[in-house]
A and B are shown apart, each in its own frame.
Chain A
Amino acid sequence: MENLKLELKAKIIENLNLEDVEVSDIANDDALFGDGLGLDSIDALELIVMLDKDYGIKLSDPKQGKSIFESIDSMAAYISENKTK
């Protein structure tokens, strides 16, 4: 699980072009949206594509995203339970 969390942090930094942000800057329970990492709605769409492309997870209900993408902890837990590749 810890490896998955590190992997997610690296992917988020790279895929979302978070310049000047290091893996070590993101705590597992940091809020990814709002006052936390400050991601926006386009970033949310990128994360949905990332789940599909890298882990074979298709979100059937976009409303699920709010809880899944709350933090690295919540993303890692959801991916661990639902990944197909």
Chain B
Amino acid sequence: MDESKYIQSYCSINNNVVSLNGKVVFSDDSADVKSFLKAVYKSLDTKYPKFFKMDSLSKLAFLGAELLLKEESKSSNTALVFSNNASSLDTDRKHQESINDSDDYFPSPAVFVYTLPNIGMGEISIRHQLKSENAFFIFEKYNAAFHHTYENSLIQMNKADSVLAGWVNVDKNKCDAFLYLVSEKGTIEHTIENLIKLYNN
């Protein structure tokens, strides 16, 4: 039977503003993504020193998860389904810069480990002790129909109790995240229309 799924909670992090369930919970005037993400981290009063070792994409995903999984009675069977259009390009460029000059060839292991977009999901899984399904897709733009189908399938096929999903993108000193938690609890029905509406808000 096709039980209804709901968007239990949602957040967005972009344009120097953080919103949770439609309400602004933080904003500042940082000039760059790195400073902004650090300011968001400080505002959440989270103690997790490894945050500072992450690349910006992982930090962004991590902060979204902190917002959505912090107060929830989270299940260790929360799947992760993310997408973006820049993959890990922001960090790929940093790595490329470190290997451009053969006479000054010192690639940083700490940078190199983040040259995949799905590393942030690993960071979230470690932080929240998730041992669940995860997938990261590259699309030109947020694909609500694809996400809707994939997220529903995971729950319907008993692959997950809930799904933390959405768009998380960092490129050219800009960040954009729209993440949400899908489960069988909540008031906003998990539909393509609602996903598009919340993403565009």
Contact = CB atoms under 8 A, between A and B. Distances in A.
A, B bound = yes
Interface in B91-115: 106-110, 113
B141 interface: no
Interface in A41-85: 42-43, 45-46, 49, 52-53
B52 interface: yes
Interface string B36-73: 00000000000001011100000000000000000000
A19 B49 contact: yes
A36 to B, nearest CB: 13
B49 A42 contact: no
A23 interface: no
Nearest to B106: A53
B49 A20 contact: yes
A43 B110 CA distance: 7
Contacts of A17: 52-53, 110
A46 B49 contact: no
Nearest to A48: B109
A18 B50 CA distance: 9
Interface string B105-148: 01111100100000000000000000000000000000000000
Contact of A52 (B51, B52, B106, B110): B106
A16 B53 contact: yes
A38 interface: yes
A10 B112 CA distance: 22
Contacts of A20: 49
Interface in B15-53: 49, 51-53
A46 B52 CA distance: 15
Contacts of B108: 46, 49
A16 B49 CA distance: 11
B55 to A, nearest CB: 11
Contacts of A45: 109-110
A16 B53 CA distance: 7
A17 B58 CA distance: 15
A41 to B, nearest CB: 9
A65 B53 CA distance: 21
State the 9 A-B residue pairs at the shortest beta-carbon distance, nearest first: A45-B109, A19-B52, A17-B52, A53-B106, A17-B53, A46-B110, A42-B110, A42-B109, A49-B106
Interface of A: 16-20, 38, 42-43, 45-46, 49, 52-53
